[in-house]
Amino acid sequence: MSDETSVTEAEDGAEMAAEDADLPENDDETVEEFDGEDEGAPENVVRFPGNATDHAQLMRMVEALLFAAAEPLDIDSIAGRLPEGADVGAVIEDLQKLYKDRGVHLVRIANKWMFRTADDLSFLMEREAVEQKKLSRAAMETLAIIAYHQPATRAEIEEIRGVSVSKGTLDVLMETGWVRLRGRKKTPGRPVTYGTTEAFLVHFGLENIGDLPGFDELKAAGLLDGRLPPGFDIPNPSETGGEGDGDFSDDEEEYGAALDDHLAQDKVDED
């Protein structure tokens, strides 16, 4: 075989390869276009439509809705925001499992769904705050009488004020921590007496009860009416009290009996 014959055969092979390369990519006779149905596919294979939303994405959507909602949502409200045909029940169930061990739980209340802090973490949401209460005029007058005349009985307070002590006035002062039961007056009937507490001194910035302003100081500060009745005077406040008066002993039974008398008097006033 000559070299010239070999060159001719090589050229013919190259021309055939070029013709094959020029064939159209979508030849109807050789390539069938996929129409979405696979006749040979197994019967147990379900093909999802092209616009189906992934289950994980549905969970994200419901999660966002519940977090942003100002109130619990029912199933219909949730379904109305999701793509048509979404299985809201399955999504809710999977979200419950997902948040089961987290700081917030997905809970159902009145057939509606919402996120709520886990019960064992509710203490983190608690905060103690001091509630500011404004004392009534009657309470302030009663407090002033007790401070200047302690230990004072209920009858003495009413005599000085000129009116009866309304139900709960002394209770409010005791709950505030500014007034306490002092002891029993050594007079017939052994009535309970009232006095101020250390919390009273702390609140008003007093070193002791004797630091309360006297008659001259109150008058100079303009806190007393210029037309005071004759013989009007303000006693010098003292914690020791009058003769025969004093604090309870350490006997809890004695204090408890006095407290019962205090509550019993409130009951009488109520009736």
In a domain? residue 159: yes
CA angle 168, 135, 242 (to 5 degrees): 70
Q: Report whether 146 contacts 194 (CB < 8 A).
A: yes
Query: pLDDT averaged over the chain?
Result: 75
CA gap 127, 251 in Å, rounded: 36
Domain co-membership, 77 together with 116: yes
Total tally of structural domains belonging to the chain: 2
CA gap 149, 128 in Å, rounded: 35
Q: What confidence score (pLDDT) does residue 53 get?
A: 59
In a domain? residue 42: no
Rounded to 10 deg, the angle between the 88-98 and 55-68 helix axes is 70
Q: What confidence score (pLDDT) does residue 129 get?
A: 74
For the record, the structure tokens of 177 come out as 């921590």
**Structural domain boundaries, residue 167:** 137-270
Domain co-membership, 159 together with 265: yes
Domain co-membership, 119 together with 141: no
Reported confidence tier of residue 176, pLDDT bands at 50, 70, 90? confident
In a domain? residue 158: yes
Q: Tens of pLDDT along 81-138?
A: 999 889 999 999 999 999 999 999 999 988 899 999 998 998 888 887 777 778 888 8
Q: What is the pTM of this model?
A: 0.47
Q: Tens of pLDDT along 180-224?
A: 888 888 788 888 888 888 888 888 888 888 888 877 777 776 666
Domain co-membership, 194 together with 230: yes
CATH for 70: 1.10.10.10
The answer on pLDDT for 167 being more than 80 is: no
Rounded to 10 deg, the angle between the 137-149 and 154-161 helix axes is 120
